Amino acid sequence: MEDWEEDEFDGPVKKFMYVNRKAPYGTVYALEGLEVVLITAAFDQDVSLVFIDDGVFQIKKDQETSGVNMKNFSPTYRALEGYEVEKVYAEKESLEARGLSEEDLVIPVEILSAAEISELMDTQDMIVSF
């Protein structure tokens, strides 16, 4: 956790939403975005993680990256619970449009409609999209 530890920060708690819209491996955004989520949780902030659009491909199970010689970081999503990141959502419309269902995912998520995700976005203090 670099130079920050959980007990070093006792400032205000804000609502941070991380909006993942990009597929893994083709670009670095998914991997480096996940690193930000883990750090934010270490600050005891109210973190929501949302997978929409191609972001839902980040949590597709059965990722096997040895053939492309890249690090498979999908197991890291399973570590989120250990960081007390419990608000993890995927958008129903994005999954359906890509032929995915809950059974395809590497972690349990709450499936929300686009309208519900829009409502949730409105209540956030900070939204960061990768």
Partner 1 sequence: MALLHTVNKSPFERNSLSDCLRRAKNGSAVLLIEDGVYGALQGTSASDEISSRDGSIKLYALGPDVDARGLSEKPLIDGLELIDYAGFVDLVEEYSSVQSWL
Partner 2 sequence: MKLGILVNEGPFTHQASDTAYQFTKAALEKGHEIVRVFFYHDGVNNSNKQADPPSDDRNLVTLWSELGQEHGVELVVCVAAAMRRGINDDLLAAGFKISGLGQLVEAGIIGDRLVTFGD
- Of residues 92 through 111, those in contact with partner 2 by CB under 8 A are none
Residue 122 interacts with partner 1 (CB under 8 A): yes or no: yes
- C-alpha triplet 110, 114, 118: angle, nearest 5°: 95
CA–CA distance, 61 with 114 (Å, rounded to integer): 23
Residue 118 interacts with partner 1 (CB under 8 A): yes or no: yes
Q: Is 84 helix (H, G, I), strand (E, B) or coil?
A: coil
List the single partner that 79 binds among partner 1, partner 2, none, CB under 5 to 8 Å by kind: none
- Of residues 51 through 110, those in contact with partner 1 by CB under 8 A are 52-53, 93
Quote the least distance from Cβ 100 to partner 2, whole Å.
25
Report the run of H or E that residue 32 belongs to, with start and end.
Answer: helix 29-42
CA–CA distance, 59 with 72 (Å, rounded to integer): 11
CA–chain centroid gap for 84, Å, is 13
How is residue 39 written in tokens?
């750090």
Residue 129 interacts with partner 1 (CB under 8 A): yes or no: yes
Q: Is 103 exposed, middle or buried (0-12, 13-18, 19+ CB in 10 A)?
A: exposed
Quote the least distance from Cβ 112 to partner 1, whole Å.
11
List the single partner that 114 binds among partner 1, partner 2, none, CB under 5 to 8 Å by kind: partner 1
Q: Which of 12, 67, 82, 99 binds partner 2 (CB under 8 A)?
A: 12
- Of residues 31 through 50, those in contact with partner 2 by CB under 8 A are 32, 35-36, 39-40, 42-43, 45
Residue 121 interacts with partner 1 (CB under 8 A): yes or no: yes
